[in-house]
Amino acid sequence: SGQRYEAETAPAVCQGTIDANHAGHSGSGFCNGNAAVGAYAEFTVNASTAGTATLGLRSAHAASGGTARPASLIVNGATVATVPFEPTGSWTTWATHTLNVPLNAGSNTIRLDPPTAAGLPNIDYLDVSTAGT
Ligand code: GCU
């Protein structure tokens, strides 16, 4: 089954501002993270059973210079991947990164933590799909 978690909707945390000035986002806005190392966005997601879940992370960024804005993907406190977040071409061009992560049964935290001073791309939502019903 699948569930969408909007970056602007609590209990999601955005270390930055919730903005809505770039068309094409889902819901009422997106997370514009602060331009700083460690300025994270975090989602709290529920899984009915433990196991592998497929994440879909939707983002956009078009910063001058075309430099990627990677982020560590931290699940329940453990870094499990780096999401590259290459430029999408414009602030209104939203792209989805798909990857598999382990989740616990019940509540899980999924944090995007940027290691560079540019911070995160704009983050729209996180989709979580699990094998269970
Ligand atoms: C621009 C853009 C913002 C974006 C920011 C950034 O100001 O309008 O939406 O967050 O650049 O570089 O992160």
- For the chain, the maximum distance between any two Cα atoms, rounded to a whole number of angstroms, is 44
Distance 101 CA to ligand 1 centre (A): 28
- Which of 122, 123, 124 most suits a substitution to test ligand 1, by most atoms within 8 Å of the C-beta? 122
CB atoms within 10 A of CB 117: 10
Output the pLDDT for position 132.
Answer: 61
122-130 and 51-60 beta bridge pairing: antiparallel
Amino acid at 53: A
Q: Is the CB of 59 under 6 A from ligand 1?
A: no
Output the pLDDT for position 66.
Answer: 83
Across 61-78, average pLDDT: 93
**Residue entry with tokens 């540019």:** 118
Across 60-69, average pLDDT: 89
Across 24-29, average pLDDT: 98
What DSSP letter does each residue of 106-125 carry, written as one string? EEEEEEEE--STT-PPEEEE
Confidence of residue 131 (pLDDT cuts 50, 70, 90): confident
Output the pLDDT for position 55.
Answer: 98
Output the pLDDT for position 133.
Answer: 45
Q: Is the CB of 63 under 6 A from ligand 1?
A: yes
Q: What is the CATH number of the domain that holds 125?
A: 2.60.120.260
Q: Which domain, by its residues, includes 56?
A: 2-130
Reported ipTM: 0.98
Q: Hey, which residues does 56 pair with through a beta bridge? A: 98, 127
Does pLDDT of 68 surpass 60?
A: yes
Q: How many angstroms separate the CA atoms of 54 and 66, rounded?
A: 28
- Domain count within the chain: 1
Across 74-101, average pLDDT: 97
